[in-house]
Amino acid sequence: MIDAPYALAGALTGFVVGFTGVGGGALMTPILLIVFGVSPSTAVATDLWFAAITKLAGARVHQTNGHVDWQVAKRLWLGSLPMALFIVVIVSLGMQVARVEWLTTAIGIVVLITAAGLLAAPKLTSYARGRRIAEPARFKALQPALTVVSGAVLGLCVALTSVGAGALGSVMLLYLYPLRMTPHRLVATDIVHAIPLAVVAGTGYLFAGMVDWKMLASLLTGSIPAVLLGSLLAGRVAGRWVQFALALVLIAAGAKVLM
C-alpha cells in the first residue's frame, strides 16, 4: 500500500532533481531522518536506490535532448565507481553500518558542505572561468586528472552517506568546466553520472538487508512523474533561485541532523 506522506516527499525531491540535477540524497536523506525518523543506515540504503531509479527516469529526457556530456561523465566514473565499490566490499564483508555512531554526523556534515557549495557556486565558477581564460593550456591539461579525483570524492561521500552526487558534483563540474558546462549540460551530466554510482554504492546495503522496499515504493510513486516534469522544465526556467532556496533548506536540515 502506498504511503501518501512518503509519496509527497518523493514528488518534492524528484521535481528538484529533474529541474536542477541536485537534491536527491542531500534533500531526501535529511527528510527521512528528520521528518520520518528513519534510522541512518536504512535512510542511506533506501535513498541510494531511490536516487538511482528516480534519476534514471529523468536521464531519459535529458539524453533524448542530447545534453549529456559523456566524456566528463566517464571521467567521473573512473574515480567514483571504484571508490564506491571499495565501500560496497567493506559493507558486504560485514561492517555494521547500523552501529556506526558517526553515520548521522557524517550525513549532517556532508549536507552542510553541499549547501555551502551551492551558495558559493557562482563565485567558484567566476574564479574558474578567469583561470580557464588566463591559462587555457594548463587548465585543460589538469582537467582529466582532477575530474577523476573529484569522482573519487563523490564516490566516498555517496557510498557512506548517499549525499553529494548531485549537489557537490554540480559544484565540482562548474569549477572544472566553467566554459563547457551550460545549464542544460550540467543537469544532464550530473544526473547520468549519479545513476551507476548510486547502484554500485547501494549494492552493499542491498545485500546487507538495509533497504526498506515498502518505503522505497511509496517514494518512487511520487518521484517518477515529478522528475519527468522537472526534467522537461529544466533550462526553460532559471534554476538558480531553486538552488539558493535548496541551499537554505539544507543548512537548516544539516544543522538539525547534527543536533
Residues 44, 84: Cα–Cα separation, whole Å: 13
Q: Which H helix or E strand runs over 225? A: helix 213-233
Tens of pLDDT, residues 73-105: 999 999 999 999 998 888 777 655 545 557 778
Coil, strand or helix at 237: strand
pTM for the model: 0.86
Tens of pLDDT, residues 116-138: 888 888 888 888 889 888 888 88
Question: What pLDDT shows up at residue 65?
Answer: 67
DSSP state of 99: G
Question: What pLDDT shows up at residue 64?
Answer: 66
